[in-house]
Chain A
């Protein structure tokens, strides 16, 4: 019963947060709206990592699918002239889904550090390909025009982040977060717990652990790709360094650990905190940014193993 109540509570929370963000749009200054939208994009990638963490897996190369999503959108825009954000999003998701489906056959048999480092290796390969291929923009990447939605073009005077794009990202993210929450409470979500706790017992119950991992891997990849599409639409530019490079993947893992895996809202909260801190850190101490990340990561590992979300559980007096 408690399980059921918590699922409903999360659904209500998502609906309230979505409505609040949409209602706040006229009041938000441009930088705040941009930060929120970028955080939702990054949060989607971390949401994918959250699924994997529920399976007891961590990927050090999620930038691979973040890049695939971003590049699929940028390439479709550049070479096919597609500007519709819905079509670009679908293109990113489809490309990442296909790649994850193929790579899944390799990674699904691995756990722990092997899983983590195999993904890192794949992302480094993609980074090498992107940075060295002239057709794919090499290290400079691509610019992407202002997107449209279902034939409506935004006012060209209004800048890149219009209510159309903001609302699209907020609503799309909310639907995806709700969907992931339901998935985690479904049999495949519980299979994840089985993979994490004791894989052999899960197999004795007749569940294919590898199959479950494969599905989770593809789902996480699609989420990362969608995050990549949103980020490219918001920033208007994509480069290998900002997507496939290991530092980006490391940031996603960092945010996932910072937020904790307690709830689908945790990645978005943690990503927003991360973006805000980064904005100030890059201004005041640009050379110590990675050091700040590293020290924070250590502190979270040592003193707050459940991440920021476990603070909420502690406040409610529940065991984290």
Chain B
């Protein structure tokens, strides 16, 4: 019984983390049809910047409290806006309209550049920002003590997800966005500024990627190479749910979270396999993902 509770809680925590690091990827794809490989760099940059900022602040104020969370948020906003703007205005807008795979290659090129930029800025050593993780003490669930920060990820991420869903489905800009998603030419003809929607969507997606990184900074040690591991994992999550679907990303995160936690408990060596097995099975049965819509056949 205690084992079951542990698996459920661990899965939820892990699924929340998966959701927050992959939601930006699916958002950008859903609106712009761009698979943003540089999402991995945004995540890594967010993590680096947050870890660095927290480290700087703590060295000046050793008994820092909840302001650390604000610092992490600011780090994510700065990274998302600055780097997001650079990528979208500097690179992506020149390749809109080209082949899907060419756009992926362009974001891959950006990813390569950012990998080295990060090494030049932050060096090869690892950054650890553990302080925020102990702000909330421990909370016990079914007799098992958990780190409060990890548990609180679940409601916070659920709120963020709901917020995104509501922003798309319950607000005027959201409705306009849906029009842009369905047919960008008709939307433009109706007077919607599609270019601005693209830029804003990309900035939001970039911010979410950086936020995922910033929230992860206390959980991991921030080292070179975390970006590529993340992009592969996040891609699996959003593909399972259906590229471009927010609900799908949530379901994908839950499935992968459950599968991976069960693997960690029973067969740890299968940990990585489970993710890709789930992905392969889903893609074999439903090539568009669980919540994806099949494309119209064009003759």
Q: Write the chain A residue with the least CB distance to B297.
A: A200
B235 A125 Cβ-Cβ under 8 A: no
Q: Please count how many residues in chain B sit with their CB below 8 Å of the partner chain's CB atoms.
A: 39
Smallest CB–CB gap between B232 and chain A, Å?
5
Contact A114 B239 (CB under 8 A): yes
| B105→A290 contact, CB < 8 A | no
Q: B35 at interface (Cβ–Cβ under 8 A)?
A: yes
Contact A290 B287 (CB under 8 A): no
Q: Are B236 and A298 in contact (CB under 8 A)?
A: no
CB distance from A109 to the nearest CB of B (A): 6
Chain B positions within 8 Å of A113 at CB level? 35, 100-101, 104
Chain B contact residues: helix, strand, loop or mixed:
helix
Q: How many chain A residues touch the partner (CB < 8 A)? A: 39
B272, CB-defined interface residue at 8 Å: yes
B-side contacts of A121, CB under 8 Å: 232, 235-236, 276, 279
A201 contacts which chain B residues (CB < 8 A)? 299
Q: Which of B272, B298, B299 lies at the interface centre, i.e. has the most chain A CB atoms within 10 A of its CB?
A: B272
**List of A residues within 8 angstroms of B279 by Cβ:** 121
- Which residues of chain A are near B186, meaning CB under 8 Å? none
**Which residues of B lie under 8 Å from residue A56 when comparing CB positions?**
101
**Mask: chain A, 101-116; 1 = CB below 8 Å from B; 0 = not:** 0000010011011101
Q: Which of B35, B108, B269, B284 has the most CB of A within 10 A?
A: B108
Interface readout for A270-302 with B: 1 if CB under 8 Å, 0 if not? 000000000000000001111101110110011
Given A110-B287, A291-B116, the answer on whether A298 and B272 have CB atoms closer than 8 Å is no
Assess whether B287 is in contact with A114, with CB atoms less than 8 Å apart.
yes
Chain A residues closer than 8 Å to B120, beta-carbon distance:
287-288
Chain B interface residues (CB < 8 Å from chain A): 35, 91, 94-95, 98, 100-102, 104-106, 108-113, 115-117, 119-120, 228, 232, 235-236, 239, 269, 272-273, 276, 279-280, 283-284, 287, 297-299
By Cβ-Cβ distance, the 5 closest A-B pairs, closest first, are A294-B112, A294-B113, A291-B116, A297-B109, A294-B109
